[in-house]
């Protein structure tokens, strides 16, 4: 029976959903949303805060400040509340209302950026704001999830080993790309331990992370308008780009099975489904996808039909029927759909 005194002491690291009944692929979804912060970002938040405390950068006179689209902000809000720190989250208008309310309920201040930078989008504008805050007040401490090696080290120490332990014969691992902390931590772990696992990054259309053209992205989480400094493509075996429309459809498919996941998870599952359909791995191949979040924070966006209609058109669900062809980095496929994903 777990008994804890700090919310960050509890996490579930061994829960998987078998998606074969849904996708007709041998794909297991590693659920990372069952902790008090509600997402995988808790791991990076804990690692970065503890390292800053150990180095002496972070003291009780400090004010934590971080740029986040939502989930890391909630994780840091929770830790700050527990440890007695002040925390300011710099986010933007795409951040879900539920995420902003969660941070404020935990005692944090939310600073909302309304205008994107002309070249670097909302991310650049948020980072510029954080830098200005730190320049104006020496008590501000920026953990900087975009360059902080403790971001990927957290997953090198936890997520990668957990997957390796639970799936000793793993063939493919699908990881979403945001800051690329989870991606780099897992990829480095499997490479350094000599495990022959293909690591496939899943990114969203409109992200520049892997050299794509910048575009409007409405779902927070994956993707970036500035290339992540943590990324080392030498550790990545393949990349799948997924449109937001496909991510939304996938979220609704999973919800029809009783699994309410977030937009990032929908993106990753859609990318994994398409990649597996394009590669003949054989009936005994094993694949795992990492699900970073749950769906409650997306009830007023991904699962709200008025919001979907206003941003993607009335046909985003009704006329799709099937995930679009899309593209993996090195494979195209004309394979027929394995399941009719249509919506009334």
Distance in angstroms (rounded) separating the CA atoms of residues 248 and 303? 8
- Full residue range of the structural domain in which residue 136 is found: 41-142
Q: Comparing C-alpha atoms, which of 252, 249, 264 is closest to residue 183?
A: 264
Here the CATH number for the domain that contains residue 126 is 3.40.50.1100
| Tokens describing residue 287 | 């694949």
Which residue's entry shows tokens 């759909």? 337
**Helix, strand or coil, per DSSP, at residue 167:** coil
Point out the domain boundary residue: 118, 142, 166. 142
Q: What is the pLDDT along the chain (344 residues), one digit of tens a residue?
A: 889 999 999 999 999 999 999 988 899 999 999 999 999 999 999 999 999 999 999 998 999 999 998 999 999 999 999 999 999 999 998 888 999 999 999 999 999 998 888 888 888 999 999 999 999 999 999 999 999 999 999 999 999 999 999 999 999 999 999 999 999 999 999 999 999 999 999 999 999 999 988 988 888 889 888 899 999 999 999 999 999 999 999 999 999 999 999 999 999 999 999 999 999 888 889 999 999 999 999 999 999 999 999 999 888 886 444 554 444 443 333 333 445 554 44
Same domain, 162 and 282: yes
Q: How many domains does the chain have?
A: 2
What tokens were used for 17?
Answer: 């959903």
**Which one of 122, 142, 162 terminates a domain?**
142
Report the distance separating Cα 44 and Cα 136, nearest Å: 26
Strands 198-204 and 327-328: unpaired
Query: Closest Cα partner for 265 from 71, 36, 64, 66?
Result: 71
DSSP H or E run through 159: helix 159-166
- Residue 118, SS3? coil
**214 and 124 within one domain:** no
What is d(CA 102, CA 99) in angstroms, rounded to the nearest whole number? 5
Q: pTM score, two decimals? A: 0.91
């Amino acid at each position: 029976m777990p008994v804890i005194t700090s919310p960050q002491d509890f996490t579930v690291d061994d829960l998987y959903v078998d998606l074969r009944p849904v996708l007709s692929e041998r794909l297991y979804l590693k659920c990372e949303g069952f902790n008090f912060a509600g997402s995988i970002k808790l791991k990076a938040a804990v690692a970065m805060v503890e390292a800053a405390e150990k180095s002496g950068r972070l003291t009780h006179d400090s004010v934590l400040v971080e740029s986040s689209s939502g989930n890391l902000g909630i994780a840091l809000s929770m830790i700050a509340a527990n440890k007695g720190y002040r925390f300011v989250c710099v986010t933007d208008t795409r951040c879900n209302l539920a995420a902003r309310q969660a941070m404020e309920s935990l005692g944090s201040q939310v600073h909302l950026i309304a205008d994107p930078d002309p070249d670097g989008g909302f991310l650049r504008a948020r980072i510029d704001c954080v830098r200005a805050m730190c320049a104006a007040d020496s008590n501000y401490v920026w953990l900087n999830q975009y360059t902080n090696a403790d971001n990927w080290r957290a997953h090198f120490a936890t997520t990668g080993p957990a997957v390796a332990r639970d799936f000793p014969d793993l063939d493919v691992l699908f990881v979403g790309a945001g800051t690329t902390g989870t991606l780099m931590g897992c990829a480095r772990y499997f490479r350094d331990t000599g495990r022959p696992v293909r690591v496939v990054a899943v990114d969203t259309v409109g992200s520049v992370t892997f050299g794509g053209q910048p575009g409007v992205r409405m779902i927070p989480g994956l993707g970036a308008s500035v290339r992540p400094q943590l990324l080392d493509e030498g550790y990545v075996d393949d990349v799948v780009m997924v449109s937001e429309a496909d991510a939304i459809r996938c979220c609704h498919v999973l919800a029809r099975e009783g699994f309410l996941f977030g937009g990032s998870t929908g993106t990753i599952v859609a990318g994994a489904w398409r990649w597996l359909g394009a590669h003949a791995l054989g009936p005994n191949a094993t694949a795992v996808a990492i699900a970073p979040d749950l769906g409650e924070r997306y009830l007023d966006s991904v699962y709200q039909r008025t919001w979907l209609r206003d941003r993607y058109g009335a046909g985003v669900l009704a006329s799709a029927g099937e995930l679009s062809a899309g593209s993996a980095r090195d494979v195209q496929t004309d394979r027929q759909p394995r399941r009719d994903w249509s919506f009334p």
